[in-house]
Amino acid sequence: MTNILILSAGTRDKVVQYFKKELAGRGKVVATDCSPLAPAIYEADEYAIVPRITEEGYLDTILSLCKEKEISGVFSLIDPELSLLAAHRDEFLAAGAVPIVPDAEAVELCFDKFRMYEKLVELGVPAGKCYRTPEAFFAAQERGEIDYPVFLKPVCGSASLNISKVSCREEVELFCRENPDLMIQEFLDGPEYGADLYVDLISGETVSVFVKQKLKMRAGETDKAVSVKDEELFAFLEDFARNMGFRGMIDVDLFRIGERWYVSEVNPRFGGGYPHAYACGVNVPVMVINNLEGRKNEPCIGAYRAGVVMMKYSEIMIREGI
């Protein structure tokens, strides 16, 4: 039996459904959340209401669940929990569950956007210029290296929270005074793309890459997109994942400026737009299951349909007795 534990499932119903479908007859999907009003947990074979990840005893609760449910692999759908999984990898392995996440250093690098920018520069990967303090930004502006507009964003953050596009010095000073944990990022004026990668847990090779051009954003997530193929970008992302030492599911945001690809952000988890990839034939759940059952995946980069449009829309779930 191959049992999967999906942590902090929230509203990510599709991911739960996909794993349940691919595991039919071979194992179970167990989902958790801190709220009984998280609809995705009711899509799983079994679910558990657990403490918030910041509460004392949370880790012990999850480890106990791994042992009780004989979990083979575990992953989370929210950024703050990735650090916990990576930092306690050995404890999860001792409980019989493989944490499907890169190592702790790579996870922390992704979560700290300024450190990631420094790493991109070190690797020679194109990226929008970033400045950790207003003083550094103003000095660069005086040297003619950058100009308005720019983005202000938290050094550590997710879901596009507290991100502002600003156009003058006064706004930079005001926002940074109110929140000293903001950094200043160059505004990249070009079409935005998203890439869903799967790096094999056994071979360490990138075995799947799916790319979409973002047509419309809403609340920090891709609302409408179209699948595209670009062999140059596939090779670029393979090299990037290899140099970063990633494993598992990786979500990359990029911009196309002229003839170059610029990396904007990296999240070592399922991206919110992964259902688009699955609908186009990119079956990451099967790849995960193969790895957990001891099988390497053969590379199938770009093995999907281009020109397929994703359009998100609202849905509801009705339940009694919650």
- Per-residue pLDDT band for 159 (boundaries 50, 70, 90) equals low
Question: Are 251 and 201 spatial neighbours (Cβ–Cβ below 8 Å)?
Answer: no
User: Is the predicted pLDDT of residue 157 greater than 90, yes or no?
Assistant: no
Rounded Cα gap, residues 173 and 187, in angstroms? 17
* Stretch 283-312: mean pLDDT: 97
Q: Is the pLDDT of residue 68 over 60?
A: yes
3-class DSSP string for the chain: CCCEEEECCCCCHHHHHHHHHHCCCCCCEEEEECCCCCHHHHHCCEEEECCCCCCCCHHHHHHHHHHHCCCCEEEECCHHHHHHHHHCHHHHHHCCCEECCCCHHHHHHHHEHHHHHHHHHHHCCCECCEECCHHHHHHHHHCCCCCCCEEEEECECCCCCCCEEECCHHHHHHHHHHCCCEEEEECCCCCEEEEEEEECCCCCCEEEEEEEEEEEEECCEEEEEEEECCHHHHHHHHHHHHHHCCCEEEEEEEEEECCEEEEEEEECCCCCCHHHHHHCCCCHHHHHHHHHCCCCCCCCCCCCCCCCEEECCCCCCCCCCC
pLDDT at 221: 80
Flag whether pLDDT at 124 surpasses 90: yes
Structure confidence at residue 158 (pLDDT): 62
* pLDDT surpassing 90 at residue 13: yes
**Bridge partners for 222 per DSSP:** 217
Q: What confidence score (pLDDT) does residue 56 get?
A: 93
pLDDT at 321 (0 to 100): 85
Q: How much is the pLDDT for 228?
A: 98
By percentage, how much of the chain surpasses pLDDT 70? 98
pLDDT of residue 217: 80
What pLDDT digit, counting tens, does each position of 182-230 carry? 999 999 999 999 999 999 999 999 999 999 999 998 867 888 999 999 9
**How many CA atoms, within 13 angstroms, populate the side-chain half-sphere of residue 2?**
21
**How much is the average pLDDT of 296-303?**
96
Residue 244 Cα distances to 237, 265, 270, 321, angstroms:
10, 13, 17, 46
Residues 6+ apart with CB under 8 A from 146: 129, 131, 137, 140, 186
Amino acid at 213: Q
The pair phi, psi for residue 309, each rounded to 5°, is -95, 135
Average pLDDT of the residues in 98-106: 97
Least confident of 71-75, 125-129, 314-318: 314-318
Q: Is the CB of residue 254 less than 8 Å from the CB of residue 237? A: no
At 263-282, the pLDDT tens digits run 999 999 999 999 999 999 99
Torsion of CA 145, 163, 209, 308, to 10 degrees: -110
